[in-house]
A and B are shown apart, each in its own frame.
Chain A
Amino acid sequence: MVPTLLVIATLTFVLMRLAPGGPFMSEKDIPAKAKQELMHRYGLDRPLHEQYLAFLGGAARMEFGPSYKYPDRQVREIILQGFAVSAELGGWALLLSLLIGIPVGTIAAVRQNQPTDFAAMTLALAGVSVPNFVLGPVLVLMFSLSLMWLPAALWTGPESRILPVLALCVSYVAYIARLTRAGMLEVLRQDYIRTARAKGLSERVVVVKHALKLGILPVVSYLGPAAARIIMGSIVIEQIFAIPGLGRYLVIGAVNRDYTLVMGVVLFYASFLLVLNLLVDLAYSWLDPRVELA
């Protein structure tokens, strides 16, 4: 895990420094002396390898220094504050997509090639056929501007969670439904399922009690990267609904050449992803006794 993070850190560092422009460009000119001061304050006037080592040292302690664009705040504060919001948004979306996706995929598998299969999959696949920056405004137009039931944006009370979570979960429902369907199709062909059926168990018991545990294995392995992405914030949803999450900092940081913020967010994301993959492997081994951990 550490070598991967090291490579990612280095890659990010190099890429950011290569990008034209710097963190102190603005439409209104900053006098040379002031710019010099800023460079000095952030250590940008030190030789590059020194900066790199300082950055690595700080990163190891989760200290990324102050952001360039928001100089009174530490990058760590910004990330944690944004992460709290993104995690909540993503958590709800993930939960919802599992609650919808797994049953839909299971039903589709059980009724393979029948109209129910097609209907269920069409519904699920709509998620990967309609971009969420279309779904978002449509939902807002319907429920907020016309019916006036829900807020149009912002992260205030519980009602403000509904539309963004809905818009966010739709694409994940598609993947989860498809993976469940594929997994269940495979499992339902297995001999032991045939045995269970032969024993006279009802279809529902067969599916839910025997097949499901192994049938959702593909979903489990998908969950790792999916959870990382969904929780790191959907940039589109956050922008449309003005949600103060983590996703936007990646774009803002890259556009403004905010070196520290970008490093912090990238490393945070990478670590988070790696940890989640670990958890997924553990969950996998628990679900499928045939697999051992390396």
Chain B
Amino acid sequence: MSIGLRPPAVVLAAAERAAAPRSLWSDAWARLRRNRMAVFAGGFLLVMCTLAALAPWLPFLSDPAAQDLAKGATPPTFSHWFGTDELGRDLFARVLHGGRISMLVGLVGTLVSLLIGVTWGAVAGYVGGRTDDLMMRVVDVLYALPYIFLVILLLVFFSKSLLMLFVALGLVQWLTMARIVRGQVLSLKHQTFVEAARALGASDLAIVFRHIVPNTLGPVIVYTTLTVPAVILQEAFLSFLGLGVQPPNASWGTLVSDGAKLLALFPWLVLFPGLAMSLTLLAFNFLGDGLRDALDPQGRRDGV
């Protein structure tokens, strides 16, 4: 028996089964609504995103970059709801602005991985044959490289800009996305509606992107919702190593990793950003799981 590398057997098995008919969106929506935790999470995220997005324009918010060296770090008071950091900056403002950056990082990083992953997986799955083999081989190779090593080198080569950060973060996530999409495409490409489209003279490109990809939306949406928190957490990890968002910008990741180092001295510096970040990530995860339950009731086990 030849033991080559191929996607997890889980996805293969799913591909062998006949693809379930496209879930009616209203059906899925009803299922989602029953999951009260997911609904609550969704609402929380809406509030959080709005606050974070509007942070620079909120009238009552202090300037997150305004230093007051003489004051230094102070615990929460009425004038500073979350206290101040060692440079005298208002923590509440920094948490909200940080949320803005974190969400941005999460969304863009996810978008990068989405675009690359979906395209890669769809093309590989549709074209099949040797191209598919080669493309998935690339995925396997990248998967076997230690992530942190790639990131360090990337950031060393191109120095630390926000753009590079997005690329570095999207780098790893797209691999699993590609595998998922490929599995989906494999199972879909022999469906009758595809044959019909081909018979009507649609180009391969059109078939892939206009017919097949929309049918993979279910697992893709789920995985996307679950990738955002993973990316935000990944950025926090990079911040811990000093490679994340660079000052003067601050994300939740930098706030939390800087604050964790001062836990014994100024616990509020990690408590408030940590709570904000953790609750948001928890909400994303609950929403993602809820979406999965709703959109994928047959449970395609995608190995996420």
0/1 interface trace, chain B 4-35, chain A, CB 8 Å (1 if under):
11101110110000000000000000000011
> B148 touches which one: A118, A138, A251 (CB < 8 A)?
A251
A183 to B301, CA, bound (A): 7
A11 with B145: in contact, given A118-B37, A129-B281, A291-B13 (CB under 8 Å)?
yes
A23 at the A/B interface (Cβ < 8 Å)? Answer: no
B122 located at the interface, meaning its Cβ lies under 8 Å from any Cβ of chain A in the complex = no
Per-residue contact bits, chain B 134-151, to A (CB 8 Å; 1 contact, 0 not) = 000100110111101100
In the complex, how many angstroms separate the beta carbon of B89 from the nearest chain A beta carbon? 20
| Chain A residues whose C-beta falls within 8 Å of the C-beta of B282 in the assembled complex | 122, 125-126, 129
B236 proximal to A (CB < 8 A) = yes
B144 contacts A278, CB within 8 Å? no
Decide: B141 and A186 in contact? CB cutoff 8 A: no
Interface string of A1-26 (1 = CB under 8 A from B): 10110011001100110111000000
- B9, B274, B289: the one within 8 Å of A134 (CB): B274
Q: Which of A7, A225, A278, A281 contacts B9 (CB 8 A)?
A: A281
State whether the Cβ of B298 lies closer than 8 Å to any Cβ in chain A.
yes
Chain B interface residue count, CB cutoff 8 Å, equals 59
B264 within 8 A of A: yes
* Stretch in A33-41, A43-51, A201-209, A266-274 with 4+ CB within 8 Å of B: A266-274
Contact A129 to B299, CB < 8 A, known contacts A19-B153, A185-B293 = no
> Is B299 a contact partner of A182 (Cβ separation < 8 A)?
yes
Give the residues in chain A near B260, CB-CB below 8 Å: 133-134, 136-137
Known: A217-B301, A235-B148, A284-B9. A121 touches B286 (CB 8 A): yes
A254 x B149 contact (CB < 8 A): yes
A243 within 8 A of B: no
Contacting A at CB under 8 A, from B247-304, are 253, 256-257, 260-261, 263-264, 270, 274, 277-279, 281-282, 285-286, 289, 292-293, 298-299, 301, 303-304
Question: Counting CB contacts under 8 A, is A294 at the interface?
Answer: yes
Are A15 and B293 in touch, CB under 8 angstroms?
A: no
Indicate whether A113 reaches chain B with its CB closer than 8 angstroms.
Answer: yes
A106, chain B: closest CB distance, angstroms: 15
State in angstroms the CA–CA spacing of A265 and B36 once bound together.
Answer: 46
Q: Is the interface of B mostly helix, strand, loop or mixed?
A: helix
The docked-state distance in angstroms from the alpha carbon of A266 to that of B253 is 27
Please tell me which one of the listed residues B3, B146, B152, B293 contacts residue A281 in the complex, with CB atoms under 8 A apart.
B3
Chain B residues with Cβ below 8 Å from A80 are none
Residues of A within 8 A of B44 (CB): none
A-side contacts of B263, CB under 8 Å: 137-138, 141
Residue B57 CB within 8 A of the other chain: no
Contact (Cβ within 8 A) B141 A141: no
- Which chain B residues border A266 with CB–CB below 8 Å? 145-146, 149
Q: Are B13 and A290 in contact (CB under 8 A)?
A: yes
Query: Is A74 at the interface (CB under 8 A from chain B)?
Result: no
Residues of A within 8 A of B286 (CB): 121, 125
Q: Which interface class (under 10, 10 to 19, 20 to 34, 35 or more) fits A?
A: 35 or more
Instruction: List chain A residues, Cβ under 8 A from B146.
Output: 232, 250, 265-266, 269
Given A118-B37, A133-B260, A254-B152, is A285 in contact with B299 using a C-beta cutoff of 8 Å? Answer: no
Q: Which residues of A contact B121 (CB under 8 A)?
A: none
A95 at the interface (CB under 8 A from B): no
C-alpha spacing A78/B97, complex, angstroms: 43
Q: Indicate whether A128 reaches chain B with its CB closer than 8 angstroms.
A: yes
Contacting residue for B10 out of A1, A178, A217, A269, CB 8 A:
A217
Cβ A278 vs Cβ B3 within 8 A: yes
- Decide: A293 near B230, CB < 8 A? Known: A19-B153, A178-B289, A218-B303: no
Which residues in B have some Cβ–Cβ distance to A below 8 Å?
1-6, 8-10, 12-13, 34-37, 137, 140-141, 143-146, 148-149, 152-153, 156-157, 229-230, 233, 236-237, 240-241, 253, 256-257, 260-261, 263-264, 270, 274, 277-279, 281-282, 285-286, 289, 292-293, 298-299, 301, 303-304
Given contact pairs A4-B137, A134-B256, A236-B237, a sample of 16 additional A-B residue pairs in the complex whose CB atoms are under 8 Å apart: A4-B140, A15-B153, A113-B36, A125-B282, A134-B274, A137-B260, A138-B263, A183-B301, A186-B301, A217-B301, A221-B10, A251-B148, A251-B241, A254-B149, A254-B156, A290-B13
Listed in ascending order, the chain A residues whose CB lies under 8 Å from chain B are 1, 3-4, 7-8, 11-12, 15-16, 18-20, 112-113, 118, 121-122, 125-126, 128-131, 133-134, 136-138, 141, 145, 174, 178-179, 181-183, 185-186, 189, 217-218, 221-222, 225, 232, 235-236, 250-251, 254-255, 262, 265-266, 269-270, 273-274, 277-278, 280-281, 284-285, 288, 290-291, 293-294
22 contacts between A and B (CB under 8 A): A3-B137, A12-B149, A20-B156, A113-B34, A125-B285, A128-B230, A130-B278, A133-B256, A133-B260, A134-B274, A141-B263, A178-B304, A186-B301, A218-B301, A221-B303, A250-B148, A265-B146, A274-B5, A290-B13, A291-B12, A293-B3, A294-B4
